[in-house]
Structure 1
Amino acid sequence: MIVVTTPTGQIGSALVRRLLAANQDIRVVVRDPARLADDVRERVEVVVGSHGDPVVLDAALPGADALFWLVPPDRSAGSAREHYLGMARVAATAVRRHGVGHVVGVTSAGHGWAPSAGVLSAAFAMDDELAASGAAYAALSMPFYLENLLGQVDSIVRDGAFSLAVAADRPFATVATDDIAVTAAHLLTDRAWEGRRDLPLFGPDRLTPTEMAEVMSRALGRPIAFRPVSIEDLAGAMRAAGASEQAVRDTTEMFVAQADGIYDADWAVAELGATDVATWCRTVLAPRLAAHPAWAA
């Protein structure tokens, strides 16, 4: 039995379908079962609730051979570290209590980075907690998700541009969430591995944001530009939107670490996913843009 958290998210939903295609027995933990696709809901066991709740995990983990773990964002959390560690402690205790043999967690690339990296450092603390659970633990260590750009669809349509708080001319590591699901499915079904493993997974490109914009322009058939945002402007925008000072610190420290090269050491050892930026633009971004009422105007 494989237990999957966040089964309606971008990674979790793709993972569930891959596991079902492999005829695996699956139990999912989900707050709202109505968000599961009908063909998925009829083939999986469903435990309703949050996987941050020990009662819910006690219902989900009996008889489980493996657990897929992903911490969803929580804007109400006091800090990223508090959020990640709080959930990880609940998970580690439940994994230990129920004797789950293998855990695959989604985390950040850049393990061993000494300066504070905000959200990324919180994910590293989560890894330490889960690795101490007694289960074999694989940390799927990710750079920037390409799917994060979907939050800028309006800007891409309106302004023909996307923005990040990184340098325009420095290679920026990215990965597609479907590639994460592919790797997670392999680890969850072929459980010959033991101990703690840090597994960086990057996309096959090594592009600067300016080069990403050029690739995007060719794939979409219209000019798209990259517009860098300063850390100061990012912090100001977050404050204007009502973010707490801790949330601002967690986010800006993450982007500073990315700008300073937190992912660089992993380039040499990372497994490369199959989805390059051009393919992602054609298969994921283009359909989302096509659904925007102003894209064809």
Structure 2
Amino acid sequence: MNITITGSLGNVGRRLTEKLVARGHRVTVVSHSPERIAAMEALHAIPAIGSLQDAAFLQEAFAGADAVYIMIPPDPSATNVRKYIREAGDRYAQVIARCGVQYVVNLSSIGAHIPDGAGPAGANYYVEQKLNALADTHVLHLRPGMFYTNFLGAMNMIRYQNIIGNNFDASLNMILSHPHDIADAAAEALHTRSFSGKKIQYIASDERNGSEIASVLGRAIGQPDLAWINISDEQMLQGMLQNGLTEEMATVYILDIGRAIRESKLFDDYAKNRHTALGSIKLEDFAKEFAVVYKQALAMAEEAK
């Protein structure tokens, strides 16, 4: 079967490509980076290099595909993130219709059941509705929670201050998702094509609060007293601006999500469907991966001295 996947060889895309190729599918991987061509070919995938904002290129990449995996990568240059996501959704829907793609797996997000949901969730709601309007296409929306890999961005805070945190209290639960669990769910759906109509699938690898996250990660890296702290919105914003994020990106992807978690506005639909969620990689499993990356970063810092 011919399958096109977007998202290049990122945290989800690489594993998804490997699994689909191993099952005998002809896989085209969309990326904006020519530097990824060699890696794609090494995986026996077909590179398609261009911009997701170019509808003509996208149509060429989707032409002849029996199924596609679509996601909307963050764009640091976007001055209006929600508008950027909605426009990307419009393009995907138009190209899928023109190409007659029968099966679509769409990477959405938890909270996408809310039309004006926090962060990117409301825009993802819009994208889901656009895809749901495709009369002759079967669509599966994957709704993951917060990616484990986001915690890798806190390594400097952990190293220098022995703290980790966000703009909500340590007692509040988060729905956590491992990229491999997302890739595995997408690979199974694309391989079997057993979904029909318009479906939603939550990906929840684990549910843990801030205190538990700090404890598990801290033990894994030999810092058992690592503490989760509640950082004010303003402090969070200033820290992210200093680390190179734009105010728009920081607000939509991080601050707004944190506010929604502390106001209990994000997980209500997930709670109704928890029993059907997929995901098996627990926080303790991810902590082992985190420790490897953390120790590598420490070793590189020592060598650079």
TM-score (norm 1): 0.90
| Partner SS, residue 199 of structure 1 | strand
> Which residue of the partner structure matches residue 62 of structure 1?
63
Task: Please say if residues 157 and 295 of structure 1, whose CA atoms lie closer than 8 Å, have aligned partners that are also in contact.
Answer: no
Q: Which residue of 2 aligns with 1:194?
A: 196
Question: How big is each residue's C-alpha offset from its partner over 1:6-53, in whole Å with a ceiling of 9 and x where there is no partner?
Answer: 122111111111112222110111112322554744611221102221
Shift of 1:228: 1.9
Structure 1 partner of 2:133 = 132
Distance 2:246 2:39 in 1: 38
How many residues in Structure 1 have an aligned counterpart in Structure 2? 295
Match of 2:258 in 1: 255
Query: Which residue in 2 is equivalent to 1:272?
Result: 278
8 Å CA contact retained: 1:17, 1:40: no
- Distance, in Å, in 2 between the alignment partners of 1:246 and 1:7 is 24
CA distance in 2, matches of 1:92, 1:255: 30
Q: Indicate the residue corresponding to 2:143 in structure 1.
A: 141
TM-score, normalised relative to structure 2: 0.88
Question: Shift in Å at residue 239 of structure 1?
Answer: 5.5
SS of equivalent residue, structure 2 residue 107:
strand
Q: Is the 8 A contact 2:181 2:281 kept in 1?
A: yes
Q: Which residue of 2 aligns with 1:52?
A: 53
Tell me how far 1:80 sits from its aligned partner: 1.7
Aligned equivalent of 2:164, options 162, 165, 168: 162
CA contact (8 A) 1:33 1:41 kept: no
Change beyond 3 A, Cα 1:41–1:60? farther
Residue ranges of structure 2 left out of the alignment (5+ in a row): none
Deviates more, 1:107-116 or 1:52-61: 107-116
Q: Give the AA of the match of 1:118.
A: G
Which secondary structure does the structure 2 equivalent of 1:221 belong to? coil
Deviation at 1:79, TM superposition (A): 1.3
- Cα RMSD (Å): 2.3
Does residue 83 (structure 1) correspond to residue 117 (structure 2)? The answer is no
Secondary structure of the residue that 1:8 maps to in structure 2? Answer: coil
- 2:182 counterpart of 1:180: yes
Q: Distance in 1 between matches of 2:81 and 2:25?
A: 33
Please identify, of 229-238 and 54-63, the stretch whose mean Cα deviation from structure 2 is larger.
229-238
Cα distance in 2, alignment partners of residues 30 and 39 from structure 1: 10
| Counterpart-to-counterpart distance in 1, 2:14 and 2:73 | 14
How far apart in 2 are the matches of 1:137 and 1:161? 41
Q: Partners in 2 of 1:12 and 1:239 — Cα distance?
A: 28
Q: Percent identity?
A: 25
State the partner residue of 1:10.
11
Code of the residue aligned with 2:291 in structure 1: it is: A
Helix, strand or coil: the match of 2:208?
coil
Secondary structure of 1:207's counterpart equals strand
